[in-house]
Structure 1
């Protein structure tokens, strides 16, 4: 009888170890999938990461300054610095969306220059002329933004820095807002940001696979995914989740979103607004605008929303 119970204990231990091993294997697979999955197909977006002809023309014609720096892990980061014609101690960093490059942000340059800002356009890692093969969804992008803000402060120790991100760029800015250094940023403008990362991933991948059982599998794997995430990056899911990050933010923030956005529904912006820990936070919804299309649909209203928001902060900047 004792032999029987001993055998049962060994069998249970073996099954438990097998379950944990399988769980960590699945968690590691999910981690790799987060980084390397064909997100352009899953999200239905177009890859436009390599064409920088518009940027290069402006650099050659208008004297825009190409910039190259290194992130903490040695990754090359490229950008373009546009100095205002008037002396200014204010600079805004513009962050593009997924599978885009810094050319995407050209339509926003004049808006900020007209308000007296210098402008820094950056290629996020894995995009444009920056190094890296893909986005890391915030695992390394916060280090990249540290490097860019340090570069700006190296030019002018008294510079006041704002961040304006679009889609993925907005999410990265919001993630940065929850870090200690991110609290030194003067303001954030988040255009078409996503919120809860796991919820977004589950929703989009489930729709892509067409198999509702995928959600059950994701729920089962999630604890192992979070463990692998911490073991491999030293970060938790809350560190790279915009909805969690904004709870820690203190800087003023303006959320902008298209009312007809089907990729990231406008209710996401409302959730981010409610979750934000900032004492100065506003939301503007653009009726009829799809994902990241607010400026194209109603540029005058877009520029006014940003200008009015920044003017309300001017006494503190």
Structure 2
């Protein structure tokens, strides 16, 4: 999958939320932001992120991972939600997206290594007392799930994964068979072999589910009940693999990555309730 430089038009079922989406983009354009970089002077490795400092002094820090063909800006609605809860926010552009380098999209597996660097960069600049939340949607949800199995710094306190897939191979097979009506063979092995040559790993070698088996952080899984792109059973599978404190919220009538938009107050309440329990009791869910 080659890099994307322009965010594609949204699906028809999401166009009803366009006014709200652009409202959040306007907010992002007006709030204080700073550009952060990894490997800034290496054009082949440079990673970019938007940093939004909290409106009042706070050790709460969230790193938000975007979806396929998105970028940090496309997560502005989630950024404002956490900003209003007192967080500083980091919005990275993944490899081959936005202002970050990269020729090919790695669907979270190589991105998890960049997010480890973002975590350490945040601690370096903000101090050892930082309390970090990892949050992602769709490909971003899978990214933080894959990241969960790494040796994370103690500053990482919790994870929220919205509609992440169980593995790249399983997601590709699902799309092939359910949307394009193509068989798994020979297409999935062919794509996997191409990926091995270009990015260094077979699709079957990496799995959110396998990584979650090593996770020790409290995690909230969110999934739309009517998700036809990443089916809900993948979150059930990821939930079952997790041995850490965990919650699963299946959002009624929500399609892929629609849970935030279909009922934003309910989404904010559920996220705040999880954070109150597992991240910071000072985060109080709105009644």
TM-score (norm 1): 0.73
Task: Decide whether the 8 Å contact of 2:107 with 2:168 is kept in 1.
Answer: no
Alpha carbons of 1:184 and 1:88: their partners in 2 closer, same or farther (altered >3 Å)? closer
Q: Distance in 1 between matches of 2:214 and 2:31?
A: 39
Matches of residues 150-299 of structure 1 in structure 2 within 5 Å?
150-158=120-128, 159-181=130-152, 185-207=156-178, 209-211=180-182, 214-217=183-186, 221=189, 229=196, 240-278=206-244, 280-299=245-264
In the alignment, what sits opposite 1:21? none
Matches of residues 19-168 of structure 1 in structure 2 within 5 Å?
35-36=1-2, 61-70=30-39, 75-158=45-128, 159-168=130-139
- Which has the greater radius of gyration? 1
Describe the superposition over 1:129-182 as per-residue Cα deviations: whole angstroms up to 9, x where unpaired. Answer: 111133112342122112211210111222121111010001011001011137
Task: Decide whether the 8 Å contact of 2:221 with 2:249 is kept in 1.
Answer: yes
- Between Structure 1 and Structure 2, the one with more helix by share is 1
SS of 2:67's equivalent in the other structure is: coil
Q: CA deviation at 1:315?
A: 5.7
In the alignment, what sits opposite 1:28? none
2:269 paired with 1:304: yes
Structure 2 residue runs without a partner (length 5+)? 5-9, 13-21, 283-287
Aligned residue pairs total: 266
Task: Decide whether the 8 Å contact of 2:106 with 2:199 is kept in 1.
Answer: no
TM-score (norm 2): 0.80
Structure 1 residue runs without a partner (length 5+)? 1-34, 39-43, 47-52
Task: Decide whether the 8 Å contact of 1:247 with 1:277 is kept in 2.
Answer: yes
